[in-house]
Structure 1
Amino acid sequence: MCVEKTPWEQVIDFHGHTCPGIAIGYRVAILAQKEMGIRPTSDSELLVKAETRSCALDAFQIINKATIGRRALIIEDTHQPIYSFHFTGTQEILKITVNSALLEQFKSPNPDTLSPREKQNRNLEMIQHILTTAEKDFCTIERVHGELTKE
């Protein structure tokens, strides 16, 4: 018997482990799916632009099917937690900005002093917080006029 994996489990398998970065990517990818709904036409393609190079990118490849190989995942590293989603053939971009204050609260003053178990517990707490915090506290979502293009 074959048991189908949840999207979260698929992202973990693809990435190789759980971490706060894939939790952020997973949450943003799911929010984008919810906000954008179904493709406007059968020949449109979802493009994703990430303004940071992080583990979050793996979630977009699994959840949103925006892969680096097809150039549907565009990386412009400004070190900001900003992600833009665009269906080709439309003039609207969905821009999701993760709340920096949310991320800052988990920075440990000296992570080297934590034991492996403490680090693991801290990661699990961060993941749980990222996945469950209220949307308004997690990010801002805006729709802007424009389009993304493959580079």
Structure 2
Amino acid sequence: MCVEKTPWELVIDFHGHTCPDIALGYRIAQLAQREMGIRPAPDSECLVKAYTQSCALDAIQVLNKATIGRHALIIEETHRYMYQFHFTGTQDIHQFTVSPVVLDHLETLRHPDLSPRERQNKVLEGVQYVLTLEESAFCHYDKIPGQLSKIV
């Protein structure tokens, strides 16, 4: 019997481990799916522009099918946890910016002198924090006019 994996399991399988940044990407990817709704046309695709290169991008690639290989994921490194989503053929960009308070809290969980078990507990604490935080405290959402284009 074959058991279908959950979206979270698919992301973890792709990335290789659980970490707070994967949880960030997972949460952002789900919010984008909710706000963008159904694909407007069969031939439209989701384009994503990320402003930092982090583990979060693996979750976005898996859940939103916006991959680097297809040029549907554009990275402009500014070290900001801001992500823009756009369906080709539409006129809106859905922008999500992770709250600085969230990033600061996750930074407090990183301690180089922890034992492996303590480090693992801090990782799980960070994942739980990201996945359960009230949406309004987690990120800021804007729907702005515009389009993203593939860079080939």
Q: Normalising by structure 1, what TM-score? A: 0.97
- What residue is the counterpart of 2:11 in the other structure? 11
Q: Which amino acid aligns with 2:121?
A: N
CA–CA distance in structure 1, aligned partners of residues 135 and 42 of structure 2: 30
- What residue is the counterpart of 1:142 in the other structure? 142
Offset at 1:127? 0.1
1:26 has 2:26 as partner: yes
SS in 1 for 2:93: strand
CA–CA distance in structure 2, aligned partners of residues 132 and 35 of structure 1: 19
After the TM superposition, which residues 116-135 of structure 1 pair with which residues of structure 2 at under 5 Å, given as runs? 116-135=116-135
Offset at 1:89? 0.9
4+ runs deviating over 3 angstroms: none
1:82 has 2:87 as partner: no
Offset at 1:21? 0.9
Q: Which amino acid aligns with 1:71?
A: H
1:51-95 alpha-carbon deviations (Å, 9 max, x no partner): 000000101111000011100011111100000000111110000
SS in 1 for 2:24: helix
Aligned sequence identity (%): 62
Q: Describe the shift of the 1:110–1:28 C-alpha distance in structure 2 as closer, same or farther (beyond 3 A).
A: closer
Give the aligned length: 151
Q: Normalising by structure 2, what TM-score? A: 0.96
SS in 2 for 1:97: strand
Alignment gaps of 5+ in structure 2: none
After the TM superposition, which residues 70-109 of structure 1 pair with which residues of structure 2 at under 5 Å, given as runs? 70-108=70-108
Q: Which amino acid aligns with 2:9?
A: E
- The CA RMSD over aligned residues, in Å, is 1.1
- What residue is the counterpart of 2:115 in the other structure? 115
Offset at 1:108? 3.4
- Of the structure 1 ranges 64-73 and 105-114, higher mean CA displacement relative to structure 2 is found in 105-114
Alignment gaps of 5+ in structure 1: none
SS in 2 for 1:111: coil
CA–CA distance in structure 1, aligned partners of residues 150 and 140 of structure 2: 25
